[in-house]
Amino acid sequence: MRVPDQTQPTTMHECLPSDAVGKRVACDGERGTVRFVGTVPPTAGLWLGVEWDNPDRGKHDGSHEGVHYFTCRHPKGGSFVRPKKASFGVDYLTAIRRRYEMEVQQVLGEEIQISTRTVEMVGFEAITEKQKVENLTDVALRLCEVSSPGPPNEIRNTTPHVLMLDLCGNLLCCWDDVMAVTEQMEELKELQLSHNRLRVPSNPTVRPRAFSCLRVLSLTNCALTWPQLLECAPMWPLLEELYASENDITELQKPNDVLQSLTVLDLSTNPLVDGAVLSIGELPRLENLNMSKTGLSTLRFDDAMPGCKTAMFPALKSLAVNSNNISEWSVINELEKLQSLVRLSCRQNPLLSQERNPGTAMQLLIARVGRLEALNRWTVLPEDRRGAELDYCKMFGLEWLASGGHRDPQQNRPSAEFTTQHPRYQSLIQKYGAPEDSELKKQEPFALKNQLLSESFSLLLSLIDTVHNARTQFAMQNADPV
């Protein structure tokens, strides 16, 4: 493998940042990171070797004609582009002026005509006042190619009252640049940074005021690992909601002394190994956890016997495990050990498709997890729970009797195997009494099934109305002027 020639023609080099390698660029609507600057023989002139966020934009792994110029995470995630085709972005203040001040100027520069009369723009002074940059509390600069903060302290003078900042899909290359922006926003509570690629800071606490009030942080699709998140976590001492879906998180380590204020955590669409979730089970305030599309297939809380509650996830109320590989009811039995769980979403799992009747699967879920108030977005009414639990008792009554169960409480000793498979059965017998012999057969859950079908039909009608209204609005907005 030959060593690449890094000679750079001075005429082309002058139009590049001195530290171009590692910078973020945009080209034809795609974003990437510069990994190489130099010549690529036999062609003349300077090239940028770019690793693209979207590997489909690339062509190779950083090699050309046997020479390896740079390295990519994806075998076809890189390509070479001419410097003149790449944008290195603009500073925050330039983006603000383009996004907000120009909008106001355009509005004020327009003449409004009705029929043949020009209408005086009464009240637009109030609109202008509201739109003034210094009054903004929500700043949306998504896909605006922001790459740097701009002149020192100017952000504090320009947008001092920002509560929510959206910088998704921009060209910031490191957390230091982000902190240089946010430390000038002393009231900032929500920060959207999804679809960026940010280097971990060498000293996360060097700017303690940068995120001193931050409560909500979105880092979807940022190519982050869990250790990298933990390295950054000291920057967010008061963080309550963290959205980290579509990253490179495979294993989870225990967050020691960080993330202790989290109430919401989204880890969906990360290739987690089974059992990884247990590492975050001691987060004391976590109420809402999204583990959808993580490959989850097994779960065990070994600190609690069947029918008992685990000490893990003490505050967890809502759990989403959609589109996973759950195929055993034992996983649902483990969820019953969660002491605060009241909302569960587990759509698109093999476990549910095994049941010929979707209503039966829903009933089994309700019966096995005793405190559910909502399942797969449907409210579990008291009559639904009663019907599900009674049918569950009848459905497994023969198995209960065969395992040593008995209607006489003095002789009721079901096997450990049955208790493991049906940890709530004994408590349900105490609640409703043992089923009679004539009831020991599988029951079709007509009531719940009919309710679900009715609600599904109502939802379908609502969706149809929504689509119709959206099409009508789109047609009106795009209609030619009369």
pLDDT of residue 17: 85
Closest by CA position to 262, among listed 287, 282, 235, 226 = 287
Starting at the earlier edge strand, list the strands of the sheet with 216-218. Answer: 138-140, 164-166, 190-192, 216-218, 241-243, 264-266, 288-290, 318-320, 343-345, 374-375, 378-379
d(CA 87, CA 91): 12
Q: 99's torsion region: left (phi>0), alpha (psi -120 to 50) or beta?
A: alpha
Q: List, in order of start, the domains of the chain with CATH numbers.
A: 10-85 (2.30.30.190), 137-388 (3.80.10.10), 389-444 (no CATH)
Interatomic CA distance for residues 79 and 60, integer angstroms: 6
Element (H, E) at 446: helix 446-478
Report the length, in residues, of the chain.
482
Strands 78-81 and 46-52: antiparallel
Q: What is the DSSP letter of 373?
A: S
What is the C-alpha separation between 227 and 240, in angstroms, rounded?
A: 19
Who's near 310: CB < 8 A, 6+ residues apart? 281, 301, 303, 304, 337, 338, 339
Structure tokens at 255: 């967050």
Q: For strand 117-119 and strand 112-114, is the pairing parallel, antiparallel, or unpaired? A: antiparallel
Q: Under DSSP, is residue 181 helix (H, G, I), strand (E, B) or coil?
A: helix
Residues of the chain with pLDDT under 70: 1-15, 102-131, 441-482
Distance of CA 279 to the CA centre of its chain: 19
Report yes or no: 352 and 328 within 8 Å, Cβ to Cβ.
no
Question: What pTM does this model have?
Answer: 0.83
- The alpha carbon dihedral of 292, 298, 300, 305 has a sign of positive
Measured distance CA(72)–CA(195) in Å, rounded: 18
Write the DSSP string, 196-261: ---BPPSSTTS-TTTTTT--EEE-TTS---HHHHHHHGGG-TT--EEE--SS---------SSSTT
- C-alpha 201/C-alpha 471 separation (Å) is 46
Question: 393 is written with which tokens?
Answer: 């008792």
Cα radius of gyration rounded to whole Å, the chain: 29
375 membership: H or E segment, kind and range: strand 374-375
AA letter at 274: D
pLDDT of 470 reads: 53
Identify the CA nearest to 341 among candidates 376, 373, 364.
Answer: 373
Please give the structure tokens belonging to residue 169: 């899909």
Give the Cα-Cα-Cα angle 330, 331, 334 (nearest 5 degrees).
90
Closest by CA to 289, choosing from 243, 332, 327, is: 243
Contact between 210 and 233 under an 8 Å Cβ cutoff? The reply is no
Q: Which residue has the tokens 């490179």?
A: 248
Any idea which residue has 């698109």 for tokens? 348
